[in-house]
Amino acid sequence: MSRIADAAVAAVGTRFRLHGRGLDGLDCVGLVALALRADGYAGAVPTGYSLRGGDWGLLDRVLVRVATAEPGDVLLMAAGPGQVHLGIRTAAGFVHADAALRRVVERPGMPPWPLIGVWRMGV
């Protein structure tokens, strides 16, 4: 697997915390930042956003958009009306910070939500 996917899987069980950026609590943005740092990303991470909306152009500025998801890729999903959600593809499925379950989890297969796009480090 990739270092990004490995870091995401290692975070499984971490509690959910809106705007969380460490192993004391993560949201979906914090989870992606934590995983990308395992592969050398040292850039800015968005803060102060709400649960709905947001500027996802940052993904295009730091990652490369790809057509199909492989382990370690960042997934952007439409989780609800006006609500987007991030996750990391793994060999078994995907890891995401689940607000309803209040923790980071790995789910088998592809996400149940519509996939907006897929990004990869350093293609």
| Residue 104: CATH number of its domain | 3.90.1720.10
For residue 39, tell me if it sits in a domain: yes
pLDDT of residue 82: 81
Q: Is 36 strand, coil or helix?
A: helix
* Domain count along the chain: 1
Q: Is residue 48 part of a domain?
A: no
Residue 109 belongs to some domain of the structure: yes
Distance (Å, rounded) from C-alpha 48 to C-alpha 41?
A: 20
Query: Is position 108 within any domain?
Result: yes
Give residue 80's pLDDT: 85
Cα 123 from Cα 82, distance rounded (Å): 29
Per-residue model confidence as pLDDT tens for the chain (123 residues): 699 999 999 999 999 999 899 999 999 999 999 999 999 988 877 776 766 666 677 788 889 999 999 999 999 999 888 888 999 999 999 999 999 999 999 999 999 999 999 999 986
pTM for the whole thing? Answer: 0.92
Place of tokens 């790809």: 66
